[in-house]
Structure formats: structure tokens, C-alpha cells
């Protein structure tokens, strides 16, 4: 419950200006004001209930009218529920479709007995399905601090972590530009960049963020969607084989730097019946599988199309990308494999982990170990790009 009613301090006003001011003024678009950029991440979606706690002073407000609803000092873990026409916080109901908490220090979200701490501000939305959506608006640099831990080991060479920081920052800004008319820019799962908030910060990942502050990659005056992946297995993939982009810096390079990766080569055994079931669940119609054959490959050597035939003679063709989605991207770690049929089973013998586009994380680590600097690493995996300050974006418009 709300405890204490101290007046809002000066620090509080600074937090408010730094995060909320720009967020309100820009509606999430990248129009840097005094160098500040905020990103909006859906940290919790479709929640039937959740709980929030706040450390330090805070304001609760209606973000649409900017009306203050409450203020206080330390909010202990308090449940939030969707209601028919509003949002319930503990015993109080607010007849609003969106409320905003502005904490001075940080807030915690509790779900499934786990607490996760976040910096910045949180908007709680009542969705048309009567669920709660939590969107964290946070300074770009703080966001990257909350992502890096999930992407690379904080024990890796600093130059590799710095290269990753610039890639994450560029990708985030690209998403902000793409989603400016939506309620949020990114989710916090594997479909954008895993973001764990303050809970995921570590000393060396924070250092890498500070030492690359504001640096992003551009190509032909546009922010690069700086894709990255764990291990390429020898060559990175051309982005156009995976997504609807055709960009020179993402056309793929040879990578002799990731052979020490634990993901460099792998072997996975599948029951053909399990593959058949997964295909049918995803809308492909096929009986008992007799053969799986690679029909063609991309220039980097990854599977482009697979032909699958059943014992009854049915045949389907499926793209390597679609097949990996059907099987599960962590079950089938990459598209760089060959298939060995073994009766009712088959082996996938492959290399690398991930889609293979852009920066190879274990390759970046290998380059850093060979004394390459972070900008050399970035220029290797994203050739033709330029590194600029996020503050110069306005000039690019
Ligand atoms: Zn590699």
C-alpha cells in the first residue's frame, strides 16, 4: 500500500524529465531531446494478474491527461488486476485503460514467485481482452545494460561485449523507428532482445555500455537492423535468405573466428514420428515420413529447401527457415546441417546456433581474444557501416 506522502524531491523531477518528458513528447519516436532517447519494452503481456512494488518516491498518474492519481514513498508488493472498465491496484480501482507509475529509483514486477527489478517508468494497459500489459519506458543506455547479460557472458573480453552493446543499441533504435505508432517498441523475449531490467545488470556489461555510450551503426544514412546470433559455424548468412531485407552490410561474411564455440558443431537425433506430428500441427499434411532430403542450399551453405516424402508417396517441400520454426529453433539449432536417415529416426548433423545473420557472438569473442578492437569487430561483421552517435540521428531525418 501507499506509505508516506513526502513531497516529490528534485531528483524525482529530474527522473521525470529525463524519462517521461521525452517519452510523452515524442510518443516513442526517435527525436532526441538533449541527447535522451527512451525505448518502450513490453515486459509483461496478457497478464490476468501481476504485482508491483516500488522503491523510493513515486507518482501514479493518468498518462493521457497527465493528471496525478497518487504519490508516495515505497510501494510494497501490491496486486494489480484488470477490471471491466479499469485497473485495480490493491483495494483501489482506477477507471482508466492505462495508468503510469513513475518511480524515483526502480520498480519490481512479481510473477510466478519471481521478482524482477526495472529502471525507468512503467505503464499498465488494460487490453481489449481484459488483460494487463506492462510497458517499461526506459533510457536507451539502461535498456542495453538490461539486455547484454542475456546475450554474452559478462566474463568475455571487454571489446567483444562493447561490440555487442553497439549491435544491441542499433537494433533497438531500428525497432523504435519501426514501431513509433505502436504501444511499445520491443518485447522482452527472444523475438526481439531478451531484456531483464536492473536484475540483469553486471559490472562489466555496464562498463561496455558506458564505454560505447550512444554509439550506433548506420548504413546509407539509415540505422542498421544489427542482427546477431550465437555462432555462425564458419560463414554468416545473407539477411535476404531470412528476412525481407537486402542490405550490403548483412550480405554475409566468412567467419574463421568461432571454431572454439561450444555450439560450433552439433548432432541431434529425432524420431520421424515426432517430426511428422510437428509438421501436421503446423498445418502441413503428411503421413509417416520415409525420407527428408536437402533440395538446395543458400550461398553460405545453409538449408534453403527440404523435400519430405512419406511412406505413402506424399511429398512436401518446406523452406529451411519454416522447418526450423516447426521443429523449434532451440531443438534444431541452425539451418546449416545435413540429414542422415536411420529407419524410424534421423540425425541432423550441423554447425552453429542461430539464424546466422550479422554479428557472430562467439566469433566476436574470438576476434577480441586476437586483440581486435570492438570497432574492428563491428566493421568485420557489418561491412560498409559507419559508427555514429545516436544524437546525430536528427540530422539524418
Ligand atoms: Zn562465426
Q: Where are the domains of the chain?
A: 10-139, 142-227+241-257+356-396, 265-351
Q: Extract the residue ranges of the chain whose pLDDT is less than 70.
A: 1-35, 190-192, 394-397
Calpha distance 172→238 (Å, rounded):
21
Q: Check residue 14 and give its pLDDT.
A: 40
Q: Are 144 and 209 in contact (CB under 8 A)?
A: yes
Distance 241 CA to ligand 1 centre (A): 17
CA dist 225 → 77, 155, 254, 265 (Å):
38, 26, 20, 27
Q: Residue 174 in 3-state DSSP?
A: helix
Can you name the residues that pair with 42 across neighbouring β-strands?
A: 135, 187
Q: Are 308 and 324 in contact (CB under 8 A)?
A: no
Q: Check residue 198 and give its pLDDT.
A: 84
Distance 338 CA to ligand 1 centre (A): 19
Q: Check residue 393 and give its pLDDT.
A: 80
Distance 36 CA to ligand 1 centre (A): 34
Q: Which residues of 152-186 are buried (b: 16+ CB within 10 A; e: fewer)?
A: bebebbbbbbbbbbbbbbbbbbbbbbebeeeebbb
Distance 200 CA to ligand 1 centre (A): 26
Q: Check residue 151 and give its pLDDT.
A: 85
Distance 354 CA to ligand 1 centre (A): 11
CATH code of the domain made up of 10-139: 2.60.200
Distance 361 CA to ligand 1 centre (A): 7
Quote the cell numbers at residue 105. Answer: 529509483
Calpha distance 386→388 (Å, rounded):
6
Distance 381 CA to ligand 1 centre (A): 9
Distance 323 CA to ligand 1 centre (A): 22
Distance 237 CA to ligand 1 centre (A): 10
Distance 305 CA to ligand 1 centre (A): 23
Q: Check residue 134 and give its pLDDT.
A: 95
Distance 236 CA to ligand 1 centre (A): 7
Give the count of beta carbons closer than 10 Å to the beta carbon of residue 274. Answer: 13
Amino acid at each position: 500500500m501507499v506509505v508516506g506522502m513526502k513531497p516529490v524531491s528534485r531528483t524525482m523531477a529530474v527522473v521525470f524529465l529525463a524519462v517521461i518528458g521525452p517519452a510523452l513528447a515524442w510518443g516513442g519516436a526517435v527525436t532526441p531531446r538533449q541527447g535522451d532517447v527512451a525505448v518502450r519494452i513490453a515486459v509483461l503481456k496478457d497478464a490476468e494478474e501481476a504485482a508491483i512494488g516500488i522503491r523510493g518516491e513515486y507518482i501514479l498518474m493518468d498518462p493521457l491527461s497527465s493528471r496525478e492519481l497518487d504519490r508516495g514513498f515505497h510501494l510494497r508488493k501490491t496486486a494489480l488486476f484488470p477490471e471491466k472498465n479499469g485497473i485495480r491496484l490493491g483495494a483501489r480501482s482506477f477507471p482508466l485503460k492505462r495508468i503510469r507509475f513513475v518511480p524515483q529509483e526502480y520498480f519490481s514486477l512479481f510473477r510466478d514467485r519471481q521478482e524482477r527489478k526495472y529502471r525507468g517508468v512503467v505503464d499498465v494497459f488494460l487490453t481489449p481482452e481484459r488483460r494487463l500489459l506492462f510497458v517499461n519506458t526506459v533510457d536507451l543506455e539502461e535498456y542495453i545494460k538490461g539486455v547484454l547479460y542475456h546475450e554474452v557472458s559478462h566474463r568475455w573480453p571487454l571489446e567483444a561485449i562493447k561490440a555487442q552493446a553497439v549491435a544491441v543499441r542499433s537494433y533497438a533504435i531500428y525497432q523504435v523507428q519501426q514501431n513509433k505508432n505502436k504501444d511499445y517498441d520491443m518485447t522482452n523475449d527472444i523475438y526481439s532482445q531478451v531484456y531483464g531490467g536492473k536484475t540483469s545488470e553486471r559490472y562489466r556489461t555496464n562498463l561496455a555500455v558506458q564505454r560505447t555510450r550512444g554509439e550506433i551503426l548506420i548504413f546509407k544514412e539509415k540505422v542498421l537492423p544489427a542482427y546477431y546470433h550465437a555462432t555462425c559455424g564458419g560463414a554468416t548468412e545473407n539477411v535476404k535468405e531470412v528476412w525481407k531485407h537486402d542490405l550490403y552490410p548483412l550480405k554475409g561474411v566468412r567467419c574463421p573466428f568461432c571454431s572454439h564455440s561450444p555450439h560450433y558443431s552439433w548432432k541431434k537425433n529425432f524420431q520421424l514420428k515426432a517430426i511428422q506430428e510437428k509438421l501436421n500441427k503446423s498445418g502441413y499434411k503428411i503421413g509417416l515420413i520415409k525420407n527428408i532430403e536437402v533440395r538446395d542450399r543458400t550461398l553460405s551453405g545453409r538449408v534453403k529447401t527440404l523435400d519430405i516424402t512419406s511412406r505413402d508417396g506424399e511429398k512436401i517441400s518446406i523452406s529451411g527457415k519454416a522447418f526450423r520454426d516447426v521443429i523449434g529453433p532451440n531443438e534444431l539449432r541452425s539451418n546449416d546441417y545435413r540429414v542422415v536417415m536411420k529407419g524410424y529416426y534421423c540425425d541432423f548433423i550441423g554447425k552453429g546456433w542461430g539464424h546466422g545473420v550479422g554479428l557472430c557472438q562467439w566469433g566476436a569473442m574470438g576476434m577480441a581474444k586476437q586483440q581486435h578492437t570492438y570497432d574492428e569487430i563491428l566493421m568485420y561483421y557489418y561491412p560498409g557501416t559507419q559508427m555514429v552517435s545516436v544524437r546525430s540521428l536528427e540530422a539524418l531525418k
